[in-house]
């Protein structure tokens, strides 16, 4: 993770955003030596959300608290992928 002060980042914001977006580099913006905010690629957040959802599913499955679910064929019909 790259750390950069807010005052320095102000002049480089466009470049920093592109670095975070395209290289998945996390850039920490610091204020008085402390991390105040992070620039993170949306893809990284999506990956984290997917991992969290999978973890939640696995936990519920292990506990036996999963709902009944929807059959695969029905999902296809709901999405307009099947007649």
**Taking residues 1-25, what's their average pLDDT?**
95
35-73 pLDDT, tens per residue?
Answer: 999 999 999 999 999 999 999 999 998 998 888 888 889
Q: Give the per-residue pLDDT at 67.
A: 81
DSSP string for the chain: -EEEEHHHHHHHHHHHHHHHHHH---EEEEETTEEEEEE--HHHHHHHHHHHHHHHHHHHHHHT-------HHHHHHHTTS--
Q: Give Cα 58 distance to the centre of its chain.
A: 19
Q: Give the per-residue pLDDT at 71.
A: 86
Q: Give the per-residue pLDDT at 58.
A: 93
Which residues lie below 8 Å from residue 20, measured CB to CB, with a gap of 6+?
26, 27, 39, 40, 41
Do 29 and 39 touch, CB atoms closer than 8 A? yes
């Amino acid at each position: 993770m790259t750390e950069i002060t807010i005052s320095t980042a102000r002049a480089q914001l466009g470049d920093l955003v592109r670095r975070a977006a395209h290289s998945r580099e996390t850039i920490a913006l610091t204020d008085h030596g402390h991390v105040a905010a992070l620039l993170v690629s949306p893809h990284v957040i999506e990956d984290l959300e997917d991992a969290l959802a999978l973890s939640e599913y696995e936990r519920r499955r292990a506990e036996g608290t999963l709902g009944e679910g929807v059959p695969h064929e029905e999902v296809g019909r709901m999405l307009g992928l099947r007649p």
